[in-house]
Structure 1
Amino acid sequence: MTTPPRRVCVTGAGGFIGSWLVKLLLSRGYAVHATVRDPDDPKNTFLKQLEKAPENLSLFKADVLDGDSLRAAFAGCEGVFHPASPVPDDKTVDPEKEVMAPTVKGTENVLEACSAASVQKLVVVSSIAAVCFNPSYDHDRLKDETVWSDKKFCKEYENWYSLAKTEAEEMSLKYAEKNGLHVVTLLPCLVFGPLLQTVHLNTTTKVLLFMIKGGPDIMNNKFWPIIDVRDVADALLLVYEKAGSSERYICSTDQIDLKDVLNLMKSMYPNFSYADK
């Protein structure tokens, strides 16, 4: 008698990180419930074409602001991965609607749906945005998983993404301690890599495209901690299988100046117009 596959759910499965995670989970023999806004939308067709998808992937229509839809998707799952989250790439017009509600209220709904569906483990995808923005931090000290962004500072500078990620992660770890749900948080840095989705570009790819198309004449030479999206998927599965509850993990492999990114791109793709200052 064959053992049925372990069943897990991935929120935001049509996204950059979510789709690579679904691909990895299927390759490791998991049965996957994948939440998307619209299972019939052609932009989600690529998920159904992943290896082992016909037998082990089920698409669920769900929205993180709709708790009932989440509970339906989580039913029968031992674990949930929650990468679904907006990553703003332009000026935010309505921070509450565009960033805060889907990230913070959305995560709260995921936590409550996990409890309602008797899910055993939840991995929340946070971000180093929940670590890096703290003006009072001693910059000679290495930032580690004990460091948090300063919410007042984030609000003051209208850094809504960092504020939302910090609030959502804090809430997730507190919920775990209060309600006994096994919650682990993973904090990737800037995630680059090939796309599985075929319609929408993710935010970091848009940045590279912006640079390739000439971008502005002058760019700030920022210092980027970076990671490959496939390493993020590996890390998510690793913490799901190995990490203890309420543990927090920064996920970063390399660091690079934007100037060096630019030079790398120029050497690989010399025929484009690039920012030159």
Structure 2
Amino acid sequence: MISANFSIQNPIKPTRKSQVTIIIVILEMGFVRLEETQKAELQEFRRMLLSCAAVHGRKDENGLKDRENALEGASGDDVLLDKLVCVTSGVSYLGIAIVNQLLVDGYSVRIIVDNEEDVEKLKEMENSGEMRLINNIVEVVTAKLTDVESLTEAFDGCRGVFHTAGFVDPAGLSGYTKIMSNIEVNASNNVIKACGISPSVRHCVLTSSLLTCIWKDDSWDESFNRIDHKCWSDESVCMKKKLWYALGKLRAEKAAWEIAKEHNLKLATICPGLITGPKFFHRNPTPTLAYLKGIQEMYTKGLLATVDINRLAKAHVRVFQEMKKAACGRYICFDQVLDNIDGIEELARETGLNMSSIAGGASSSNGACFELSNGRLVNLMSRTRRCNDE
């Protein structure tokens, strides 16, 4: 058994060893995260790592082939590179879920966290024996999200990057201000540029938002009421309504597409609805509140959609896997549209919001005028499941 060993060093090259590698990268972001949320993220990260250790242990007991045996007859370096990926904000609510899914699918993962305090707490877990993993190594390297060169070094050896970064501004009314939208755009620009410069990175999956598709002005022709991956929100509407989270995601995604085109980088973007799951508001408060700004209008127009955190993580990994073929582009991701009082009551209980602030006394069934479509993602996921069943 290999214990989880922490060290602070430069990014390492993949080896032929039979092991899942997790590399935690510290980003100096220049913003503060909420302490309560941070603790919840670390607790979930610990649970996830212990769970993964148990999974790998069962595989060994059942006599399944390890990764080294699976690579026989193939080009070892190429296959190992294909299995090494990086996840930004890997200790965030979404990041943890994506890392967990990647590990289950046999990937090696470099995780990016925000600050050195996280690293110290993770070291404590390892020293106490809470995080001893079978065939896993946990290492720490440093990088700056404000520095393209630093990110390029951090991505070295990775075939793919999942950029899931979320940004917190405690001074903002909703936790996400106009200033934070600019920070998000700049950070995403740096990540995509680093991916394009990196000699090893081939694919990038960017987490965007459904909000980048739904905000239109009143003159929009409602006879065309279908909203799918081809639709884009109007920046002027986001500015007018002060929808800073939507604006940040919108500008970040548009810029990412431009940069990816310049560098001939294969890019896919996932546009999820409100991310839900166990204690989602407690563990992910700032993005949740920021997403829900404008909630009454979303509800009355039939655009208030949610997605389960684990399904969203699976969608990220499946899209990445299909990018070797032709799965680039945008994907809307949601499980359900909240269009009845039961769904609204549940959301109110989870978030602590009152019913009137969500529905505003209106009924979605009386005012819904748009239809959300996630058909492109559903088709891809169905196709992947069929291939796996064969």
Shorter-chain TM range is: 0.7 to 0.9
Match in the other structure for 2:220: 137
SS at match of 2:231: coil
Match in the other structure for 1:216: none
Structure 1 residues 113-167: Cα deviation after superposition (integer angstroms, max 9, x where no partner): 1122221100011101111111143334210111101012211222111111111
Contact 1:221 1:259 in 2 (8 A): no
Q: Which has the larger radius of gyration?
A: 2
SS at match of 1:41: helix
Match in the other structure for 2:27: none
The alpha-carbon deviation at position 65 of structure 1 amounts to 2.1
Moved more, 58-67 or 153-162: 58-67
Contact 1:145 1:248 in 2 (8 A): yes
Residue 242 in structure 1 maps to residue 322 in structure 2: yes
Residue 161 in structure 1 maps to residue 242 in structure 2: no
Name the aligned partner's letter for residue 158 of structure 2.
Answer: C
Partners in 1 of 2:278 and 2:114 — Cα distance? 23
Partners in 2 of 1:53 and 1:25 — Cα distance? 16
Contact 2:208 2:271 in 1 (8 A): yes
Match in the other structure for 2:85: 8
Structure 1 residues 147-189: Cα deviation after superposition (integer angstroms, max 9, x where no partner): 1010122112221111111111111122222221111111001
Partners in 2 of 1:97 and 1:53 — Cα distance? 43
- Structure 2 gaps, min length 5: 1-15, 17-67, 290-294, 357-390
Equivalent residues in 2 for 1:115-264 (5 A)? 115-118=196-199, 119-135=201-217, 136-140=219-223, 141-194=225-278, 201-203=283-285, 220=296, 223=299, 224-243=304-323, 244=326, 246-257=328-339, 259-264=341-346
Partners in 1 of 2:134 and 2:101 — Cα distance? 11
Partners in 2 of 1:144 and 1:26 — Cα distance? 31
Partners in 1 of 2:318 and 2:131 — Cα distance? 21
Q: Report percent identity of matched pairs.
A: 27
Structure 1 residues 237-272: Cα deviation after superposition (integer angstroms, max 9, x where no partner): 111011436411101110114742353479x99xxx
Contact 1:121 1:240 in 2 (8 A): yes
Partners in 2 of 1:184 and 1:51 — Cα distance? 34
Moved more, 169-178 or 133-142: 133-142
Name the aligned partner's letter for residue 255 of structure 1.
Answer: V
The alpha-carbon deviation at position 91 of structure 1 amounts to 1.9
Match in the other structure for 2:110: 33
Match in the other structure for 1:79: 160
Structure 1 residues 191-225: Cα deviation after superposition (integer angstroms, max 9, x where no partner): 101269xxx72027976xxxxxxxxxxx9595220
TM-score by length of 2: 0.58
Equivalent residues in 2 for 1:64-75 (5 A)? 64-75=145-156
Name the aligned partner's letter for residue 242 of structure 1.
Answer: E
Name the aligned partner's letter for residue 92 of structure 2.
Answer: G
Partners in 2 of 1:205 and 1:152 — Cα distance? 21
Match in the other structure for 1:111: 192
Distance 1:183 1:162, change over 3 A: same
Match in the other structure for 1:213: none
Name the aligned partner's letter for residue 111 of structure 1.
Answer: I
Name the aligned partner's letter for residue 99 of structure 2.
Answer: V
Name the aligned partner's letter for residue 202 of structure 1.
Answer: N
Distance 1:93 1:227, change over 3 A: closer
SS at match of 2:228: coil
Contact 1:26 1:51 in 2 (8 A): no
Moved more, 170-179 or 227-236: 170-179
Contact 2:275 2:288 in 1 (8 A): no
Partners in 1 of 2:110 and 2:262 — Cα distance? 27
Name the aligned partner's letter for residue 139 of structure 1.
Answer: E
- Structure 1 gaps, min length 5: 208-218
Name the aligned partner's letter for residue 65 of structure 1.
Answer: T
Give the aligned length: 259
Of 90, 95, 99 in structure 2, the residue corresponding to residue 18 of structure 1 is 95
Distance 1:257 1:52, change over 3 A: farther
Contact 2:119 2:140 in 1 (8 A): no
The alpha-carbon deviation at position 80 of structure 1 amounts to 0.3
Q: Identify, as 1 or 2, the structure richer in helix.
A: 2
Partners in 1 of 2:203 and 2:246 — Cα distance? 25
Partners in 2 of 1:29 and 1:154 — Cα distance? 40
Partners in 2 of 1:99 and 1:43 — Cα distance? 29
